[in-house]
Amino acid sequence: MQAMIFDAKRDFCWHIVPEPQCGPGEVLLEIHATALNRADLLQRAGKYPPPPGWPDWPGLEAAGVILQAPAGSRWQKGERACALLGGGGYAERVAVPEELLLPVPQGLSLTEAAALPEVFATSYLNLVLEADLQAGETVLIQAGASGLGLAAIQTAKALGATVMTTVGSAAKAEAVRQIGADIIINRHTDDLGAAMDTHPVNVVLDCVGGPALGENFSRLARGGRWVLIATLGGEQSQVSLRSVLSRGLRLIGSTLRSRSNTVKGQVLAALEQKIWPLLEDKSIRPVIHRVLPIQEVHEAHRILADNENIGKVVLTLKDS
Ligand SMILES: NC(=O)c1ccc[n+]([C@@H]2O[C@H](COP(=O)([O-])OP(=O)(O)OC[C@H]3O[C@@H](n4cnc5c(N)ncnc54)[C@H](OP(=O)(O)O)[C@@H]3O)[C@@H](O)[C@H]2O)c1
């Protein structure tokens, strides 16, 4: 089969690679579409290798048609499915542990389904399982117009939370307003700290980190939970430990990709039960910025690198 591998200069190259071999409990998926994630840019830069057992080429999610399933599995040959991957989505086929597959929500295309697993699993893992976000609480979601941000805003609204979010432009502000955000901060022109002082925040989903984390951590409401999922703004920060102690604050680091298949499977099972019905009744929707054939992977990566996208960028491998 062919895959979008890295050449010696870490540039993309559509090249023949060995066919994936299914181990016990694995399903062979013919990939019709895969979606980009910020982590793909890091992987291309050589900074985020795939976990053991996954292909070397990027792609944290995909949707397609099942070519082969183990005996006794819930999955059948010919069914449509989407998958959360540790890597390997930028290819014609991938072998996936069966617990990392989800059905395509009714009414959605494979192109749309490819944009679901990573962002909704990350949102659910961090807002529900890590931060225990409750109805009536306020959550701050950094980078609200990102692929992840738009999924997280919708998940938080479905949980009954008030959403404060940051964006980098007026167009992105309008997009997050339309998806349901309540308080919108332009990160270039508005004062996030002042907004947190005015509207006490219980939970933060933070992909920025850096100095801003330390500046704003002690502004959390008593018992606040700050979930750090990336460090776009830097890896160093200075936190007031007095406020951590006196206000019972928690700083939680969290990556989805490093979790065991068992934990990922539990997150996906919860998504299927709680979020998939909302996708099917259209109260939640995938937000797709652009769909490109996989041969245009350079342009797809440029869009993310330039912070242009509002929502997900999807790469197609077959018409679907
Ligand atoms: N830990 C995990 O398990 C996990 C899983 C998935 C995603 N993530 C992280 O979540 C973030 C969003 O992922 P994605 O794939 O949805 O990304 P994306 O679509 O590429 O969006 C990233 C957005 O972040 C904002 N941004 C970029 N640099 C920034 C900076 N220095 N300070 C503040 N904001 C900045 C930009 O939006 P504006 O121009 O609107 O500010 C940019 O469009 C990424 O950092 C990713 O690594 C973590």
pLDDT tens track for 205-256: 999 999 999 999 999 999 999 999 999 999 999 999 999 999 999 999 999 9
- Residue 167 CA, closest ligand 1 atom number: 40
Cβ–Cβ < 8 Å for 268, 236: no
Residues forming CATH 3.90.180.10 domain(s) in the chain: 2-116+259-316
pLDDT in tens, 55-94: 999 999 999 999 999 999 999 999 999 999 999 999 999 9
What does the pLDDT read at residue 320? 62
Residue from 145, 127, 147, 154 nearest 284 by CA: 154
What distances in angstroms separate CA 229 from CA 19, 106, 126, 155, 232, one per listed residue? 33, 30, 9, 16, 10
The preferred substitution site among 146, 184, 302 for testing ligand 1, maximizing ligand atoms within 8 Å of CB, is 146
Name the closest-CA residue to atom 36, ligand 1.
307
> What torsion do the CA atoms of 13, 14, 16, 21 make, to the nearest 10 degrees?
100
Name the closest-CA residue to atom 37, ligand 1.
143
Cβ–Cβ < 8 Å for 66, 104: no
The identity of residue 165, as a single letter, is: T
pLDDT at 144 over 80: yes
Angle, in degrees to the nearest 10, between helices 170-179 and 147-158: 30
Distance 232 CA to ligand 1 centre (A): 7
Distance CA 118, CA 122 (A): 6
The preferred substitution site among 129, 232, 256, 258 for testing ligand 1, maximizing ligand atoms within 8 Å of CB, is 232
Percent of the chain at pLDDT > 70 equals 100
Encoded tokens for 251: 């700083």
What does the pLDDT read at residue 238? 97
Distance 305 CA to ligand 1 centre (A): 10
CB atoms under 10 Å from CB of 41, counted, come to 15
| Helix, strand, coil percentages for the chain (3-state, nearest 5) | 30, 25, 45
Domain 120-253: CATH superfamily, name plus number: NAD(P)-binding Rossmann-like Domain (3.40.50.720)
Distance 268 CA to ligand 1 centre (A): 22
Percent of the chain at pLDDT > 90 equals 99
What distances in angstroms separate CA 86 from CA 12, 16, 50, 117, one per listed residue? 19, 20, 6, 12
Residue from 91, 188, 145 nearest 313 by CA: 145
Pocket-forming residues, ligand 1, beta carbon under 6 Å = 37-39, 118, 122, 143, 145-148, 167-168, 172, 187, 207-208, 229-230, 232-233, 254-256, 304, 307, 309
Give the mean pLDDT of the chain.
97
Kindly report the backbone phi and psi dihedral angles of residue 319, in degrees, each rounded to the nearest multiple of 5, phi listed first: -65, 140
pLDDT at 8 over 70: yes
What does the pLDDT read at residue 319? 74
pTM, entire model: 0.98
With tokens 């062919």, the residue in question is 2
The preferred substitution site among 34, 36, 38 for testing ligand 1, maximizing ligand atoms within 8 Å of CB, is 38
What distances in angstroms separate CA 107 from CA 1, 90, 112, 224, 286, one per listed residue? 30, 24, 10, 38, 12
Q: Does residue 296 sit in helix, strand or coil? A: helix
Encoded tokens for 49: 């290798």
CATH numeric code, 2-116+259-316? 3.90.180.10
Distance 67 CA to ligand 1 centre (A): 34
Residues forming CATH 3.40.50.720 domain(s) in the chain: 120-253
